Amino acid sequence: MDPTFRAPRGVGGTYVPPPDKSITHRALMLAAVSSSPSRIRRPLSTGDCNSTRRCLESLGVRFTDTADGVEVQGVGLRGFAEPLRPLDAENSGTTMRLLSGLLAGQGILVVLSGDDSLVRRPMGRVVEPLREMGAHIEGRESGRFAPLCFIPGAGDLRPISWDLPVASAQVKSSLLLAALRATGASRIGGKIGSRDHTERMLRALGVRLDRQDSSLRVDPVKSLPGFDGDVPGDVSSAAFLVAAALVNGRKLTIHGCGVNPTRCGFLEVARRMGASLDIAEESSSLGEPAGSIMVHPAALRGATVAAVEVPELIDEIPLLAVLGLFAHGRTEVRGASELRVKESDRLTMIARMVECLGGKLEIFEDGFAVDGPQELRPGVVDPQGDHRIAMAAAVAGAGVPGGVKVAGFDCSRVSYPDFIRDFIALGGEVA
Ligand code: S3P
């Protein structure tokens, strides 16, 4: 599917984003290892989160779809069954890294692999600390890459004291999940300032998890209780429509959206770029705040994003490049070298996207700078299977007269299966 995205009438209106991908992964995994049944309302039920569900099913966890979500029969923290076949995390880094934390030291043989993108992404960052805890894990190139193989017979996991060298919520979460089964309290320090969904959910389930001297201290537990929870809308998915409204739009009101501050960095930068944004917190479930976001477009100006801000907007950086093309002045992002090891080398892909539209962008090892506004021409962008590049290119189409064609747009289903429907409902055109 190679649709062309345009928005001659602008983008705006009222909308509810799809369920949060990060929160769904965690809710499915924690429900799977709890000791009584759980109900998860409005989980994301496609793409990456389905990879998590299928892996858990292969480990003996039973899921039953209901009218408003899914019921999960948890098997307990040590209750996984040895799977008959290798598990496939497909395109999902969150599935592979978080599940590794649950599989470490389980005493069963599990092989975990993924698609062509995932088997090239760094896994040593979870394998190394999990081995330090006593888990027996092998993997390609000495465990630096998948396939990973979890080997039985390692005995109980030891507590860990570990400083994270990269700000990765996936690595932090993997260690927190493994620490639940350790023989004593663990400490996770270093770069812990990434999205905090795992911390919030574990605390909501009664786990003792404190922040002490810029580190997390987590106690092991005998079991986790089942739970009832609602998954809020995904602010990272909503960000695509926010950006479309900002490059060419009208007022946009978003309801039922997650507003966890560790995920709202993009909205903060959009404010600095001149957007007027109101965020109202209205409810909370699974320890996560949810509410409404009102976006009032205004003339955009360039902004500088510092390295410390990057973890809170890591998935929205392609959108900052798009906004930079339409903003007055320079937009610069530094300290984002993690983008090189996402579903694609996203910095290279951002540069290619801009080039395909006749724009100019200076690329650095750890970021980019773009001077705007630029005169763009209609073009064809090939995101090479990266969902966020595909949707960022579609958003650029909202501001380019004549539109932008995106080759292989199907890859967007990994996080946002109904993007085209929502883009059209808010005034965009897709041909
Ligand atoms: C995620 C964490 C981020 C993010 C990814 C989802 C998560 O990755 O890019 O889309 O759910 O924990 P890193 O933790 O590797 O930065």
Q: What number does the ligand 1 atom closest to the CA of 168 have?
A: 14
CB atoms within 10 A of CB 342: 21
Sign of CA dihedral 129, 132, 135, 138: positive
Report how far ligand 1's centroid is from the alpha carbon of 403 (Å). Answer: 30
pLDDT of residue 56: 98
pLDDT of residue 305: 98
Of 18, 55, 59, which is closest to residue 231 (Cα–Cα)? 18
Specify whether the CB–CB gap between 375 and 340 falls below 8 A: no
The amino acid occupying position 105 is G
Catalytic residue set: 315
What does the domain layout of the chain look like in residue ranges?
A: 4-19+232-430, 21-229
Q: What number does the ligand 1 atom closest to the CA of 172 have?
A: 14
pLDDT of residue 410: 97
Report how far ligand 1's centroid is from the alpha carbon of 168 (Å). Answer: 6
Q: Would you list the DSSP string of 104-167? A: TT-SS-EEEE--TTGGGS--HHHHHHHHHTT--EEEHHHHTEEEEEE-S---SBPP-EEEESS-
Report how far ligand 1's centroid is from the alpha carbon of 333 (Å). Answer: 18
H/E segment holding residue 278: strand 276-285
Low-confidence ranges of the chain (pLDDT < 50): none
Q: What number does the ligand 1 atom closest to the CA of 415 have?
A: 10
Sign of CA dihedral 51, 52, 53, 55: positive
Helices (H), 180-285: 197-204, 235-247, 265-272
CA distance 352 to 361: 9
Per CATH, the number for 4-19+232-430 is: 3.65.10.10
Of 358, 402, 404, which is closest to residue 382 (Cα–Cα)? 404
Largest CA distance in the chain: 63
CA distance 228 to 54: 21
The amino acid occupying position 87 is L
Report how far ligand 1's centroid is from the alpha carbon of 94 (Å). Answer: 6
The burial of 337, by beta-carbon neighbours within 10 Å (0-12 exposed, 13-18 middle, 19 or more buried), is given as middle
Tokens 């060298």 sit on residue? 165
H/E segment holding residue 388: helix 387-399
Nearest C-alpha to atom 9 of ligand 1 is from which residue?
A: 315
Nearest C-alpha to atom 13 of ligand 1 is from which residue?
A: 168
Is 3.65.10.10 the CATH number for 21-229? yes
141's CB contacts (< 8 A; 6+ apart) are none
Strand order through the sheet with 62-66: 62-66, 69-73, 38-41, 228-230
H/E segment holding residue 389: helix 387-399
User: Do 4-19+232-430 and 21-229 agree at the fold level?
Assistant: yes
CA distance 1 to 394: 13
If one residue of 26, 29, 94 were mutated to test the ligand 1 pocket, choosing by the most ligand atoms within 8 A of its CB, it would be 94
Report how far ligand 1's centroid is from the alpha carbon of 25 (Å). Answer: 11
Of 272, 377, 277, which is closest to residue 327 (Cα–Cα)? 272
Write out the two tokens for 233.
């809308």
pLDDT of residue 164: 98
Cα angle 357-294-237, degrees, rounded to a multiple of 5: 50
Nearest C-alpha to atom 15 of ligand 1 is from which residue?
A: 168
Nearest C-alpha to atom 10 of ligand 1 is from which residue?
A: 315
Specify whether the CB–CB gap between 80 and 60 falls below 8 A: yes
Specify whether the CB–CB gap between 27 and 287 falls below 8 A: no
Write out residues with Cβ below 6 Å of ligand 1.
Answer: 22, 25, 93-94, 168-170, 173, 194-195, 314-315, 338
The burial of 221, by beta-carbon neighbours within 10 Å (0-12 exposed, 13-18 middle, 19 or more buried), is given as middle
If one residue of 22, 117, 347 were mutated to test the ligand 1 pocket, choosing by the most ligand atoms within 8 A of its CB, it would be 22
Q: What number does the ligand 1 atom closest to the CA of 341 have?
A: 15
Report how far ligand 1's centroid is from the alpha carbon of 421 (Å). Answer: 25
